[in-house]
């Protein structure tokens, strides 16, 4: 499971793991795991409540387009996207990150 690395990294960032009420994450829409799957896995492993905010992508294409990617397909291990302007594969500038934004303790 590729999500194991993401989950392990997030859990390691939390200082006092026993007293967590909830955590807030930002997940880019081009991340290799969907926000829903990440939330489900972390909650199942830790018992924490997880609040996830999906962040839009910002890509730059060789055709000159700068903006949100066109997501064509998302499956468990697959994300296919392209430039909505020309259909080619753009470079991504933002939207693939997973960030721990806040930890709230009891």
Burial 55-74 (b: 16+ CB within 10 A, else e): bebbbebeeebeebbbeeee
Residue with tokens 């026993």: 18
Report residue 40 as tokens: 């489900």
Positive or negative CA dihedral for 1, 10, 26, 21? positive
% residues pLDDT > 90 (the chain): 76
**44 domain residue, yes or no:** yes
- pLDDT, tens digit, 9 for 90 and up, residues 28-54: 999 988 899 999 999 999 999 999 999
Residue 60 domain boundaries: 16-105
Assign 77 a pLDDT band (cuts: 50, 70, 90).
Answer: confident
Question: Quick check: is 31 in a domain?
Answer: yes
The pTM for the full model equals 0.86
Q: How many domains does the chain have?
A: 1
């Amino acid at each position: 499971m590729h999500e194991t690395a993401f989950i392990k990294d997030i859990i390691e960032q939390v200082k006092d793991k026993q007293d967590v009420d909830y955590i807030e994450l930002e997940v880019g829409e081009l991340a290799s795991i969907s926000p829903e799957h990440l939330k489900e896995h972390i909650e199942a492993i830790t018992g924490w409540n997880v609040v996830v905010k999906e962040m839009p992508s910002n890509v730059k294409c060789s055709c000159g387009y700068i903006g949100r990617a066109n997501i064509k397909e998302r499956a468990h291990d697959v994300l296919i996207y392209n430039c909505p302007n020309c259909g080619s594969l753009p470079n991504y500038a933002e939207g693939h990150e997973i960030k721990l934004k806040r930890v709230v303790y009891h």
